[in-house]
Amino acid sequence: MPTRHILSAIAMAAIMIGASATTAAAQRPSDPARGARVVATYRFDMAHRGAFPSIVTVADSAGILVASARMPGESAARPLEVTVLQSDVIVQGETPSGVLTLTLSRESQGGARPLTTGRWSLGNEVGKLKGRERS
């Protein structure tokens, strides 16, 4: 096979791969938790911290944990990375105020609703989290 035909075949394959990747990216939802089974939803009442998310959703998408955050004043959710480390769920992602990290732990307190505790950091700020699941 002449060199010209081989190069043409390689170029055509590269174009087809690029086109399929573009099509797949266009079909990907902007909210990674959308269409997945919601595992947990965390609502934060931290209005005094305008750059803190109001809602964080963790979902199961084909066996992979995904998360998203709704920032105050934004209509689209921001994607977050999820890591499970022993009994902690760590959710992390970029926000307008810097990197947001939430470390969430569930503690059995003998009640019907488990206690969720944790830590947060956003940019240079840090704090503690504490709350109960809503029934």
Amino acid at 131: G
Question: CA 6 to CA 18: how far, in whole Å?
Answer: 18
* Mean pLDDT across 107-113: 57
Number of structural domains (the chain) is 2
If you ran DSSP here, which 8-state letter would residue 119 be given?
A: E
Residues 124 and 65 in one domain: yes
Residues 24 and 50 in one domain: no
Print the domain residue range for 25.
1-29
Query: Nearest CA to 33 among 83, 74, 85, 80?
Result: 80
Q: Which residue has the higher pLDDT, 71 or 114?
A: 71
- Express as a percent the part of the chain with pLDDT over 70: 62
Residues 81 and 108 in one domain: yes
- Give 43-66 pLDDT, tens digit per residue: 887 755 667 888 888 999 888 999
**pTM higher than 0.75 for the full model?**
no
57 strand-pairing partners: 41, 68
